[in-house]
Amino acid sequence: MRAVITIAHHTARRFLASIPALLGVLVFTFLMMRVLPGDPAVFFASDPNAGPEEIEQMRKTLGLDRPLPVQMAYYFRDIATGNLGRSMTTGQPVVTDLAERLPASLELTVTALVLALSLALPLGVLAALYPGTLLDHAVRFVCSLGVCVPTFVSGLVLIYVFYVILGIAPDPTGRLGAFDAPPPGITGLLLVDFLIVGDFESWRSALSQLILPASTMALFVLAPLARMTRASMLAVLGSDFIRTAHSLGLSRRKVIITYGLRNALLPVITITGVVFSTMLGANVLVEKVFAWPGVGSYALDALLASDYAPVQGFVLLMASVFVLVNLTVDTLYGIADPRVTIE
């Protein structure tokens, strides 16, 4: 019980310490959107040939006629009340848009991260066990190839190979096939919702739609995860306690997994948190290639339309996710190595 209270106290303290960073992100995003070229009033005017009077009326409607400090004060007031504004492109509140699209991005990102970890951990361990060999060089080449190829290129290649040539992948047109009906909106995660309602045929269809975009993202983040696993395992395998474990006659499998891999997980956990936050905010190209209705493509469309509110809401969401991921990483540290206290 005392440990739980300590963890909760530490988490609350870390969250309060991150509030100034969140405020800085909000101010930076607010100012950046105002200095970008383009006038939202011109874009959202009802008549493409609108005159100065119509454009000025639209500026008043959007609140852009007020001084910049006043606009910022109103913006922070709305943030404090949970109002992120209204998207001019969709006509809905930004909170509603983000809530509808965030599950799609989370499902894609988590699946890609699990796939990447399932490949990176064994590859990193194998490369560390046989350093300098052909296997080590092959692992490093594959990792370098994955990070060097842009995600939209690898995505198009996967579509061409598995959909166009082999015909074993579904058409890349979003989360559901053309003849599939969406499940009841329980969690927003299609794989979870289909399991809850027991629709296994649609679950398999949703999974098939997810494989190619998740594989595209997994290839891109495979390199940092595998490299960190390899470097951490090399450092641990050269430690005195590993040599002592070998001298005591313990099996090679037990030494590597129980003593080696567990002690090598700390830096891997750190880089996994950073990678997850990066994937969630930077998967816009994958979402565009596969017509995936996530928050990344939503923010890009709003940015191209000079729609301030969705972009500012997206940045706030990503900053909040980054803070939560860091707090989660701190907790996992203590689980991976009890010697690391929550403090």
Domain boundaries, the chain: 94-297
* Strand locations in the chain (E): none
User: What count of residues does the chain have?
Assistant: 343
pLDDT tens by residue, the chain, 343 residues: 555 566 566 667 777 777 787 788 778 877 777 776 666 666 666 555 566 777 677 777 767 777 778 888 888 888 888 888 888 888 888 999 999 999 999 999 999 999 999 999 999 888 888 888 898 888 888 877 777 788 888 888 999 999 999 888 888 888 887 777 888 878 888 999 999 988 888 899 999 999 999 999 998 888 889 888 888 888 888 888 888 887 887 888 888 887 888 788 888 888 888 888 788 777 888 998 898 999 988 988 888 877 888 888 888 888 888 888 877 777 766 665 555 554 4
* pLDDT of the residue at 36: 67
Interatomic CA distance for residues 132 and 124, integer angstroms: 13
CA distances to 43, 62, 173, 272, 307 from 55, in Å: 9, 11, 37, 47, 15
**CA distance linking residue 107 with residue 280, whole number of Å:** 10
What pLDDT, on a 0 to 100 scale, did the predictor assign at position 211? Answer: 93
The pTM assigned to this predicted structure is 0.81
In the CATH scheme, what is the code of domain 94-297? Answer: 1.10.3720.10
Closest CA to 204 of 176, 230, 173: 176
Q: What is the pLDDT of residue 101?
A: 92
DSSP structure class, residue 39: -
CA distances 199 to 107, 179, 187, 193, 275, Å, are: 18, 14, 15, 9, 32
The shares of helix, strand and coil residues in the chain, as percent rounded to the nearest 5, are: 75, 0, 25
C-alpha separations of 141 from 135, 222, 298 in Å:
10, 12, 34
